């Protein structure tokens, strides 16, 4: 699923986290341009999705977090703060809805939550979900749509108008994103092929018949895993430009998985390693995610780089 669809689908999932209002909302704005109508329509969708959290949410903080996510800023809430706020918010939403409150004894009130932190939490999620279409949105009008829904005001688009706009907008942006993905895929494939051709001549680099390249950083003395083995590893994964997309080292916890459940480059590469070894792998896109986008910043046809330690065969 491409970014636009992920963004629009994510709107319907935000109810589990919370709501939003806006200091810039106009009481009786008039939608005159297509861009304004799109922004308002998306605001309606988000407002309906986050309504369960509205009583606990500061709208100015929500808007600040959305704008911050759109600009690629650092999170306004630390991971520790988010981990503390999210469960308390879920408990408060469940209690208001007359549902069993997870992790709370009957008759016990859930803890209060700082409204600005709830706004930062919910706004960050909304902003990240909508980031792929941020250039299509007028944030002021988007916030007006959110506010009109949360405040129960008369909406400036009927449901029928919003549905028609949503469908045409989705189709248009999907076409645009598909074209951008195809161009990125061609660029990544060309850059990856050129890099692997150069890297092949580097001292200490070996190339397998499939095109996988590897270097022994530390040799091991244990057995080698079979293609269907389960293993425990530490690893660090980057793009060719050094962008980190995944790292068990950063998480401080080794990973465990079956070699028949991962990309082909890993299945082959780990099979070359004795327990205790540490290798570096350069994985061509056809042994990774191919023309599909992978996790995080992995674009179509990306060549991936991994440093891998094989700790144990399980």
Task: DSSP for 37-62, please give it.
Answer: HHHHHHHHHHHHHHGGGGGG--HHHH
Return the CATH fold of 189-313.
Chitinase A; domain 3 (3.10.50)
pLDDT band at 187 (very low <50, low <70, confident <90, very high): very high
Residue from 48, 60, 42 nearest 18 by CA? 48
Q: Choose the weakest-confidence range: 37-51, 85-99, 235-249.
A: 85-99
Place of tokens 């992790």: 103
260-305: per-residue pLDDT in tens? Answer: 999 999 999 999 999 999 999 999 999 999 988 777 789 999 999 9
Mean pLDDT to the nearest integer, 92-100 = 85
The CA distance from 180 to 252, in Å, is 36
The model's confidence at residue 109, banded by pLDDT at 50, 70 and 90, is confident
Does pTM top 0.75 for this prediction? no
CB 286 within 8 A of CB 248: no
Q: Is 289 an active-site residue?
A: yes
Does the pLDDT value for residue 20 go beyond 60? no
User: 214, 235, 279, 281: which one is catalytic?
Assistant: 235
- Choosing from 70, 116, 195, 245, the catalytic residue is 245
Q: Which of 8-17, 190-199, 265-274 has the lowest mean pLDDT?
A: 8-17
> Is the pLDDT assigned to residue 23 strictly greater than 70?
no
Active site residue 50: no
Per-residue pLDDT for 27 more than 80?
A: no
Q: Which of 125, 214, 289, 298 is catalytic?
A: 289
The percent of residues above 70 in pLDDT, for the chain, comes to 90
The answer to whether residue 246 is catalytic is yes
User: Could you state, in order of their start, the residue ranges of all structural domains in the chain?
Assistant: 3-157, 189-313
Q: What is the pLDDT of residues 259-271, one digit of tens each?
A: 999 999 999 999 9
């Amino acid at each position: 699923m491409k970014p636009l669809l992920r963004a629009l689908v994510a709107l319907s999932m935000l109810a589990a986290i919370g709501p939003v209002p806006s200091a810039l909302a106009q009481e009786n704005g008039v939608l005159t341009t297509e861009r304004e109508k799109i922004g308002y329509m998306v605001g309606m969708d988000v407002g309906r999705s986050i309504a369960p959290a509205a009583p606990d949410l500061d709208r100015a903080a929500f808007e600040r977090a959305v704008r911050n996510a759109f600009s690629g800023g650092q999170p306004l809430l630390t991971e520790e703060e988010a981990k503390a706020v999210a469960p308390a918010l879920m408990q408060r939403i469940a209690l208001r809805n007359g549902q069993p409150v997870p992790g709370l004894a009957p008759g016990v009130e859930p803890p209060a939550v700082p409204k600005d932190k709830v706004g930062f939490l919910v706004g960050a999620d909304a902003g990240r979900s909508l980031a792929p279409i941020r250039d299509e949105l007028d944030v002021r009008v988007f916030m007006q749509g959110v506010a009109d829904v949360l405040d129960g005001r008369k909406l400036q688009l009927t449901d029928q108008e919003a549905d028609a706009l949503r469908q045409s907008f989705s189709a248009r942006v999907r076409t645009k994103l598909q074209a951008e993905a195809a161009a990125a895929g061609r660029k990544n494939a060309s850059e990856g092929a050129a890099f692997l051709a150069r890297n092949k001549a580097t001292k200490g680099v070996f190339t397998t018949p499939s095109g996988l390249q590897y270097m022994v950083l530390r040799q091991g003395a244990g057995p080698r895993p079979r293609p269907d083995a389960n293993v425990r590893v530490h690893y660090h994964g980057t793009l060719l430009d050094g962008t980190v997309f995944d790292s068990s080292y950063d998480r401080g916890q080794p990973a465990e998985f079956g070699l028949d459940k991962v990309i082909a480059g890993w299945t082959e590469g780990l099979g070359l390693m004795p327990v205790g070894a540490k290798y570096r792998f350069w994985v061509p896109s056809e042994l990774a995610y191919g023309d599909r986008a992978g996790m995080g910043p992995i674009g179509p046809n990306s060549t991936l780089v991994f440093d891998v330690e094989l700790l144990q065969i399980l």
